[in-house]
Structure 1
Amino acid sequence: MRRLAVVLCALLALPLLGIAGAWLAPQADSLELLRHQATTVLPGYALTSLLLTLGVAVGVGVLGGATAAAVSLFDFPGRRLFEWALLLPLAMPAYVLAYAMTDFLQYSGPLQTGLRELTGAEGALWPDVRSLPGAIVLFTLALYPYVYLLTRGALLERGLHLMEAARLLGAGLGRRVRSVALPLARPALAAGVALALMETLADYGVGSYFGLGTFTTGIYKAWLSMDDRLAAAQLATVLLVVVGVLLWAERRAQARLRYASSRSGGGRGSEARAVQLSGRHAALAVALCATPVLLGFVLPVAVLLHGVWREASYGGVEGTGGLPWGRFAGWAWTSLKLATLAALAAVALALLIGFLLRTRSAGLIQPLARLVSLGYAVPGAVIAVGLLLPLGWVQAAAPGSAAAGWAQLAVTGSIGGLLYAYLVRFSAVALQSVEAGYARIPASFDDTARTLGAGSARLFFGVHAPLLTRAGLAAGLLVFVDVMKELPATLVLRPFDSDTLAVVAYQLARDERLAEAALPSLAIVVVGLLPVVMLSRAMRER
């Protein structure tokens, strides 16, 4: 069992090794290509990615932190509703939000068309949303819940208690917020911003659809358009280094957050109460919390529903109307099949690794499990390059051989390569959930079972498995939803006639067939609501 786990973990680390191995090409070629990229495309990719991440960092930090402080520290009409409603944009992938808002805000969209009819104006009423500022706003609306969740949890731990203590010492509201709430929330803000930036750098759908020259779009262009594997690997390495720095910052902030939360008590069990707002201040709090929910979820869903209605009424063959239910069923079945298989495989692997870590018989599993945990921070574009590079080496070493043919068939000619990429990307999600489940099982249960003569198999199936049911289901659900939304790796590695909902939505939107893209996009959003419901229930139980 231990050997199997070691082999599986090593296989999941292979894409990262593939990226590193690309630098083993002749040094002169590598350095010459790197110098060429440094004088041509690399500065543009770096500048665009830097401006995008800086804008998103400010946006999610301000919006996520402000909404978390509003619902945690203050009481106003609708506060209980906004506590869970602010999570709804988590169900909206950034690329789906981009399709919906482009359809709504573009020159031929309903908003500009209606305003031109009312005012008699001509031409565009505002700049095209498909721009760098537009991408910053959309990423902010889609990713601020990361900051909201972590900051709200930090403030609920001790925020009300310490704010009340500061009030009793004579501090005004402004000073309490500046001197107590902001320092308390700083580690959570940093962790949430780092997570949002990792998602931003991993994105391909928004960058490609808006025509932005980011590292991720550059990797695809180098690989698919210029057929330059070494250039793609070098860009992937740069992106991987940046993501690694963000991951380090997120882990450090999380450690500081756990340390701060483990200190003095307080929280909801204390006598402290949220500050009651009324009048203008209550209206501002309601507007602050309602705006991201309306713009990040309600409006895009309404636009998608309108697109589905428009396609059903006026689309179809020769404008006769009707939705493509037959094709949609095929796309949905492919997505459900891949997501289900990936979820089952990820949960099985997480249970195996979690059991070995639990029983202290891990050996090499401990460092390999930590390496596997890095997979979630690795963009799908990097994983795709890391999988295809070793395949290219095999084909170059033995052209036309049976081994090269079988390797190509396994990675690009079947769903095997896709499932492999999904496991590399999302096994960390399942492992984190399973480890959290194991943390709630007392070690005395294991000692009792061992005393009664239970072996490893009986210990797991008789003791651990029943107690890990909820953790396993949660892990499977999270992986399932992540696979349903995944775009970059699927776009490169999918075999022929295996389009998923995410790929179809991207292709239709890229061809400006936004009404046709509405149905698969809406299906992705509906599936994305599942973990949001799970999170909202967990928040209500706290």
Structure 2
Amino acid sequence: MPGWALALPIALLTLIPVAAVIGAALSPQPEVWDHLIRHVLPRVTANTALLMLLVGLGVLCVGVPLAWLTALCVFPGQRFFAWALMLPLAFPAYVLAFVQMGLFEFAGPVQSRLRDWFGSSAWFPEIRGSLWGTVLVLTMAFYPYVYLLTRNAFVTQGRRALEAARMLGESAPRAFWRVSVPMARPWIVGGLALAWMETLADFGAVAVFNYDTFTTALYKAWFDLHNLGAAAQLAALLVLLVLVMAAAEQRSQRGRSYQVASSHCQPIVLRGWHRWVAFGACALVFAASFAIPIVQLVLWSLSTWREELEPRYWDFARNTVLLAVGTAFIATTLSLVLAGVRRRHADRITAWVVRLAVIGYAVPGVVLAVGVFIPIAWLDNLLIAWLRPLGFEGFQILKGSVATMLLALSARFLAVAYHASDSAMQRITRSQEETARTLGLGSWGLLRRLYLPLLRGGLLTAFLMVMVDVMKEMPITLMTRSFGWDTLAVRVFQLTTESMWENAAVPALAIVAVGLLPVVLIFQRAERIQGA
């Protein structure tokens, strides 16, 4: 059987929802489009474009300089900040959002203290519905993507180019702009693309700030207006934006080559006031993106944990673990199949089918929720029609079921598991396979005696990464669950929509604690790469 035929059923897990959304766009309803064009699209398009522009500038201005400082410079606290600046990856953007909202709103501690000091805080800018608050939170949440990739590029650039620039009379800052940054461009663009994708897909943070974008408009069209057609049209536009961004990023890399040096760059020892400016910049970003939010969550949790840890809370935790473990198992198993197919079948068609199978991570969660709901609702109605003679009229069989949520979440996070599994698969050499075959091992013997032992670490990493991502995920679970079937992330959303910031701290702190696990794994991997 050809490789693409083996990978195609897995690819359909993502392709069917995307096709359902695109199909809705190809059969537009005139009255829906008239409403969207008049009342929705101008506002959300402008808001989304402006948000992406400002967040893009923000993550570049924060991530690139900090990556250069921690990778190539020596200053007080440099070794600590090298890994500590990755810790915001543990925070879902919606958690950072409600912490900042609780701190800076009118009744929050910041404005309360300002009123004690100055008698009034009327001059303080309004944070609810504000662009500046949303940009600040998303920048702090997504700059680690740029920081992590760019830092790895700076560490591996080598000393020769910088030394040549310094010998030609360039100062350290000019060498940074004219040598280091251009050489690190692919990694910077890659990190920026990830930050833009996350910004475009974000629902929780913009919902907390009441800042309308495509994702919030889609949610309101479905759940507030009960108009699945309008939601599908907006989802189709989001898919189009994602495809345009992916094509633009690929085109920007075409025809360019970059060399990575094998020798590490000689560190620059900062002296005088420069060393303290570097320390202050790193400390400020670390405090704003991780230290202050985590301390505030702990303080809120200490005052509300008794009322939050009610019996229902353990139901939220159980539901969260059930979804996380189930999705991780499905995604890891499918990723192992894809990695094996890709290894055994090197043809171009199989490669394209595998790529299509893992595009779900680039598709916003709200889009996948709509795309999964459309075929599931059709199939549900078909099953009910068949079962109506048996007295099942009025029952929902698939809509809102755990199986539906597992399908949508597996499509979303299959790429996370695949990259970890495929990286582990690439470490198994052809000579190892040939040696095992000469010992008389068949296909099942190879799987049991060779592949699984050698892939154990990669599969465990894939399982843990998917599990943590599902525990932090909100929009798919929120939009596809049945009424009352809540997770910790959904609980956070429910409490923050009622401005109950303190009560949301307990489930949010549990999510952040679990989210620290992949950050530790990423840091350990980066340390191994740098030490190699």
Global fold match (TM > 0.5):
yes
What do the CA deviations read for 1:356-415 (whole angstroms, capped 9, x no partner)? 211228896533221111100001110011011123444677874439979984532421
Q: 1:401-440, aligned counterparts within 5 Å?
A: 401-402=386-387, 409-440=396-427
Equivalent residues of 2:324, 2:470 under 8 A apart = yes
**Does residue 284 in structure 1 map to residue 269 in structure 2?**
no
- Residue 4 of structure 1: how far off its partner (Å): 6.1
**Does residue 337 in structure 1 map to residue 322 in structure 2?**
yes
- Residue 175 of structure 1: how far off its partner (Å): 2.4
In structure 1, how many angstroms separate the alpha carbons of the residues matched to 2:301 and 2:275?
Answer: 37
Moved more, 121-130 or 379-388: 121-130
- Residue 185 of structure 1: how far off its partner (Å): 2.0
- Residue 455 of structure 1: how far off its partner (Å): 1.9
The equivalent residue for 1:385 is 370
In structure 2, how many angstroms separate the alpha carbons of the residues matched to 1:275 and 1:437?
Answer: 35
- Residue 5 of structure 1: how far off its partner (Å): 4.6
Q: 2:19 aligns with which of 17, 20, 28?
A: 17
The equivalent residue for 1:203 is 202
Equivalent residues of 1:191, 1:253 under 8 A apart = no
The equivalent residue for 1:317 is none
Distance 1:124 1:415, change over 3 A: farther
Query: What amino acid is aligned across from residue 516 of structure 2 in structure 1?
Result: L
In structure 2, how many angstroms separate the alpha carbons of the residues matched to 1:88 and 1:160?
Answer: 29
Equivalent residues of 2:7, 2:353 under 8 A apart = no
Q: Provide the secondary structure at the position in 1 that maps to 2:358.
A: helix
Q: Where does structure 2 lack aligned partners over 5 or more consecutive residues? A: none
Q: What's the TM-score once normalised by structure 1's chain length?
A: 0.91
Q: 1:311 aligns with which of 294, 298, 304?
A: 304
Equivalent residues of 2:11, 2:358 under 8 A apart = no
Q: 1:89-104, aligned counterparts within 5 Å?
A: 89-104=88-103
In structure 2, how many angstroms separate the alpha carbons of the residues matched to 1:468 and 1:406?
Answer: 48
The equivalent residue for 2:343 is 358
Q: 1:100-179, aligned counterparts within 5 Å?
A: 100-121=99-120, 123=122, 125-128=124-127, 130-179=129-178
**Does residue 75 in structure 1 map to residue 74 in structure 2?**
yes
Equivalent residues of 2:420, 2:458 under 8 A apart = yes
The number of equivalent residue pairs is 525
**Does residue 326 in structure 1 map to residue 311 in structure 2?**
yes
The equivalent residue for 2:193 is 194
Equivalent residues of 2:17, 2:372 under 8 A apart = yes
What do the CA deviations read for 1:477-500 (whole angstroms, capped 9, x no partner)? 110111001001100111233211
- Residue 17 of structure 1: how far off its partner (Å): 1.3
**Does residue 265 in structure 1 map to residue 244 in structure 2?**
no
- Residue 72 of structure 1: how far off its partner (Å): 1.4
In structure 1, how many angstroms separate the alpha carbons of the residues matched to 2:143 and 2:199?
Answer: 11
Q: What's the TM-score once normalised by structure 2's chain length?
A: 0.92
Q: 2:333 aligns with which of 341, 344, 348?
A: 348
Distance 1:399 1:419, change over 3 A: closer
In structure 1, how many angstroms separate the alpha carbons of the residues matched to 2:502 and 2:20?
Answer: 40
Q: Tell me the percent identity.
A: 38
- Residue 476 of structure 1: how far off its partner (Å): 0.8
Query: What amino acid is aligned across from residue 446 of structure 1 in structure 2?
Result: E
- Residue 159 of structure 1: how far off its partner (Å): 5.0
Distance 1:527 1:307, change over 3 A: same
- Residue 112 of structure 1: how far off its partner (Å): 1.6
Equivalent residues of 1:106, 1:112 under 8 A apart = yes
Q: Provide the secondary structure at the position in 2 that maps to 1:128.
A: coil
Distance 1:445 1:32, change over 3 A: same
Distance 1:534 1:395, change over 3 A: closer
Q: 1:467-478, aligned counterparts within 5 Å?
A: 467-478=454-465
**Does residue 504 in structure 1 map to residue 491 in structure 2?**
yes
Distance 1:455 1:133, change over 3 A: same
- Residue 238 of structure 1: how far off its partner (Å): 0.9
Moved more, 172-181 or 401-410: 401-410
In structure 2, how many angstroms separate the alpha carbons of the residues matched to 1:233 and 1:527?
Answer: 33
In structure 1, how many angstroms separate the alpha carbons of the residues matched to 2:223 and 2:206?
Answer: 16
The equivalent residue for 2:238 is 239
Query: What amino acid is aligned across from residue 270 of structure 2 in structure 1?
Result: L
Equivalent residues of 2:425, 2:455 under 8 A apart = yes
